């Protein structure tokens, strides 16, 4: 009934169809004798998240069927909203699918769509959650209100006994419902949907009541959607009704529910609304680059994309229905025209624009310095910008240095605690991992480090650093010193000198600051054996590190 029969996706060309339509056939798997197609859907197409919606989209695209018109029948049920939900979960919308027949497949699809919407637009139920109920087991008018947890008593879905909210939450803390508890747990009142007899339909967003659970024999479904975001609640309800109303005896009819708000005003839900937009047909083609299409042809293309369109003089009237909540702007319509026309049918043309390229000075200079360092016999390494707090402080014998580093919150491992303030940790780790290389080891890197800086917009600043390391049977201090002299010569700089420093990172008496004019721009020296030990390096090392920015 949904237009896709079992063999259809197996026909050749299905993968190409997916490609042209804009979904991705990710994988085909055999599970328990059933062939399952894993299809990736773009994140803004809620209407394609179930087999019913996807097959409708593809059938309309292929011209095999037309987009249905949805009818919303007058409300027979009412849902009253109490002010008590305002602080915890303020919005609710609802609908009824009357005279529906579900098979095992469509029932499973119904549950699956709710899961996907919960995960996706619902942001793991925190923004939107859905409850579906057998209308014949409950009696309206319904009430959406919030009560203190101990006053809530019902038999939750899949449990055997009636229990209070605190009792059931204790059980849920140990199972798959745990992540949803924190959405409302901090509130003094929990939201509840009840019927006229006090039967609990659901405790959103956590659990439904067992009493009103739907089954294959359910004939009338009451759908309630509660939310912290009013717009998203509407999108979710429209999506469910749009996809599953086809199984009602009169397909594509949805029965409204009248929502009575706390202040007494009412509105009818779901909206299932369409809006008509008018676009200039010539303008619509500009962005796609389609040169030859009449307004009639454009209207046909859009209709293929579930956007019913007709020509009105020089303009196109486009109906944007309740299954296309992804259409925010004319550019969304322009994309659909291009998709229907076929991206690979669009003629290619080069922009008629003459420009002269300009490089970033710091990058140009960095590349030149890198080449000079390689010419001096040093091998380039490329290491990670993120490292542990100790790597930039304690392990270099300068514990206070961690104060200047940019800290990552909640890193998964200690390798992601800070952004490096020096290139040394990566350099030393590389030396440690490459013990089998012939000696001496001569490495370099020219890359960015980041430090805190109160004068910038984000409070941080990147600096381009040059770092070189020598490791061998002897320390090679004179080698890195010679390298510094060579690099300064290549930078055409004479106004520098080095002066001894007592920086604890260096072996006593073997460390020096590099002074350009009167400012320190770097340092060099033999690393202290404790530093080598921390980085698991067994050879004496000399290092050179300085900031390249003053030379740019």
Partner 1 sequence: AVVSTQSGHYGRDENGPTIFRAVEETTDVVKDVLSNIQSKNPVPDKSVQDLKKRKLISSSVTKFYSVSKGEGFRTDIEKPEADLTADMLQDGTWKSKNFKDYNFTAKGAPVVGGCLHPLLKVRTEFRRIFLDMGFTEMPTNQFVENGFWNFDALFQPQQHPARDAHDTFFISDPQMTPKEAFPPGYLEKVIEVHEKGGYGSTGYNYDWKIEEAQKNILRTHTTAVSTRMLYKLGQQEKFVPTKLFSIDRVFRNETLDATHLAEFHQIEGLIADRNLSLGHLIGVLHAFFKKLGLEKLKFKPAYNPYTEPSMEIFSYHPGLKKWVEVGNSGIFRPEMLLPMGLPRDVNVIAWGLSLERPTMIKYGINNIRELIGPKVNLNMVQANPICRLDKN
Task: Give the per-residue contact string, 403-432, with partner 1 (x = CB under 8 A; - = no).
Answer: ---xxxxxxx---x--x------x--xx-x
Q: Is 472 exposed, middle or buried (0-12, 13-18, 19+ CB in 10 A)?
A: middle
Classify 161 in phi/psi space as left (phi over 0), alpha (psi -120 to 50) or beta. beta
User: 45 or 133: whose CB is closer to partner 1?
Assistant: 45
* C-alpha to C-alpha distance for 390 and 385, rounded to whole angstroms: 14
User: 482 or 504: whose CB is closer to partner 1?
Assistant: 482
The answer to whether 82 contacts partner 1 (rule: CB under 8 A) is no
Residues numbered 456 to 485 that lie near partner 1 (CB under 8 A) are 457-462, 464
User: 8 or 384: whose CB is closer to partner 1?
Assistant: 384
The answer to whether 231 contacts partner 1 (rule: CB under 8 A) is yes
**Least separation, in Å, of the C-beta of 331 and partner 1?**
4
Residues numbered 503 to 542 that lie near partner 1 (CB under 8 A) are none
The answer to whether 373 contacts partner 1 (rule: CB under 8 A) is yes
Which of 225, 228, 198 has its CA nearest to residue 212? 198
- Number of CB atoms found within 10 A of residue 422's CB: 22
* C-alpha to C-alpha distance for 297 and 306, rounded to whole angstroms: 15
Residues numbered 12 to 41 that lie near partner 1 (CB under 8 A) are 19-22, 24
The one among 83, 166, 377, 529 contacting partner 1 by CB under 8 A = 377
The answer to whether 434 contacts partner 1 (rule: CB under 8 A) is yes
Separation in Å, CA 392 to CA 178, 385, 505: 39, 11, 11
User: 251 or 459: whose CB is closer to partner 1?
Assistant: 459
User: 143 or 232: whose CB is closer to partner 1?
Assistant: 232
Q: What are the residues whose beta carbons fall under 8 Å from the beta carbon of 43, sequence distance 6 or more?
A: 120
User: 276 or 433: whose CB is closer to partner 1?
Assistant: 433
* C-alpha to C-alpha distance for 205 and 190, rounded to whole angstroms: 10
The answer to whether 143 contacts partner 1 (rule: CB under 8 A) is no
User: 312 or 328: whose CB is closer to partner 1?
Assistant: 328
Q: What are the residues whose beta carbons fall under 8 Å from the beta carbon of 533, sequence distance 6 or more?
A: none
Q: Stretches 189-197, 200-208, 363-371, 521-529: which one binds partner 1 (CB under 8 A)?
A: 363-371
**Least separation, in Å, of the C-beta of 493 and partner 1?**
21
**Least separation, in Å, of the C-beta of 443 and partner 1?**
8
Q: What DSSP line would sit under 158-217, residue for residue? A: T-SS-EEHHHHHHHHTTSTTHHHHTTTTTSSSEEEEE-TT--EEEETTTEEBSTT---TT
Residues numbered 111 to 140 that lie near partner 1 (CB under 8 A) are 120, 123, 127
The answer to whether 54 contacts partner 1 (rule: CB under 8 A) is no
**Least separation, in Å, of the C-beta of 509 and partner 1?**
29
Task: Give the per-residue contact string, 341-360, with partner 1 (x = CB under 8 A; - = no).
Answer: --xx-xxxxxx-xxxxxxxx
* C-alpha to C-alpha distance for 526 and 515, rounded to whole angstroms: 18
Hey, is 414 helix, strand or coil? Answer: helix
């Amino acid at each position: 009934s949904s237009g896709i029969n079992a063999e259809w996706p197996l026909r050749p060309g299905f993968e190409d169809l997916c490609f042209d339509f804009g979904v991705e056939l990710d994988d085909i798997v055999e599970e328990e004798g059933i062939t399952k197609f894993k299809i990736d859907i773009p994140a803004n197409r809620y209407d394609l998240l179930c087999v019913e919606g996807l097959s409708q989209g593809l059938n309309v695209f292929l011209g095999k069927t037309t987009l249905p018109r949805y009818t919303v029948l007058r409300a027979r049920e009412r849902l009253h909203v109490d002010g008590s939900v305002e602080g915890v979960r303020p919005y609710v919308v609802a609908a009824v699918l009357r005279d529906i027949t579900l098979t095992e497949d469509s029932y499973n699809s119904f549950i699956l769509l709710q899961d996907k919407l919960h995960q996706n637009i619902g942001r793991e139920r925190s923004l939107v959650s859905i409850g579906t109920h057998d209308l014949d087991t409950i009696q309206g008018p319904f009430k959406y209100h919030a009560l203190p947890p101990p006053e809530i008593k019902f038999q939750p879905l899949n449990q055997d006994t009636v229990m209070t909210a605190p009792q059931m939450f204790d059980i849920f803390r140990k199972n798959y419902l745990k992540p949803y508890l924190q959405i409302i747990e901090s509130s003094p009142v929990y939201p509840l949907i009840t019927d006229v007899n006090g039967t609990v339909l659901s405790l959103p967003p956590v659990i439904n009541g067992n009493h009103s659970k739907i089954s294959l024999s359910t004939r009338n479904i009451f759908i309630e959607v509660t939310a912290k975001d009013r717009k998203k609640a509407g999108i979710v309800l429209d999506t469910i009704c749009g996809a599953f109303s086809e199984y009602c005896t009169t397909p594509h009819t949805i029965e409204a529910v009248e929502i009575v708000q706390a202040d007494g005003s009412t509105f009818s839900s779901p909206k299932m609304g369409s809006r008509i937009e008018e676009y200039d047909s010539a303008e619509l083609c500009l962005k796609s680059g389609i040169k030859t299409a009449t307004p009639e042809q454009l209207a046909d293309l859009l209709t293929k994309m579930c956007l019913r369109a007709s020509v009105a003089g020089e303009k196109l009237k486009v109906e944007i229905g309740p299954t296309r909540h992804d259409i925010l702007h004319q550019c969304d319509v322009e994309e659909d025209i291009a998709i229907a026309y076929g991206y690979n049918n669009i003629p290619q043309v080069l922009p008629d624009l003459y420009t002269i390229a300009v490089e970033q000075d710091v990058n140009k200079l960095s590349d030149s310095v890198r080449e000079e360092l390689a010419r001096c016999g040093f091998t380039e390494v490329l290491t990670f910008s993120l490292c542990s707090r100790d790597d930039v402080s304690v392990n270099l014998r300068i514990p206070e240095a961690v104060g200047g580093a940019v800290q990552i919150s909640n890193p998964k491992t200690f390798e992601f605690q800070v952004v490096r303030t020096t290139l040394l940790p990566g350099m030393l780790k590389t030396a440690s991992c490459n013990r089998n290389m012939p000696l001496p080891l001569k490495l370099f890197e020219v890359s960015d480090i980041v430090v805190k800086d109160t004068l910038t917009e984000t409070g941080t600043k990147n600096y381009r650093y040059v770092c070189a390391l020598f490791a061998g049977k002897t320390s090679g201090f004179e080698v890195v010193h010679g390298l510094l002299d060579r690099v300064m010569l290549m930078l055409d700089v004479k106004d520098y000198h080095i002066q001894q420093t007592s920086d604890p990172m260096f072996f006593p008496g073997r460390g020096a600051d590099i002074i350009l004019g009167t400012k320190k721009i770097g340092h060099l020296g033999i690393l202290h054996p404790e530093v080598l030990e921390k980085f698991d390096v067994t050879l004496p090392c000399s290092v050179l590190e300085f900031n390249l920015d003053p030379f740019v």
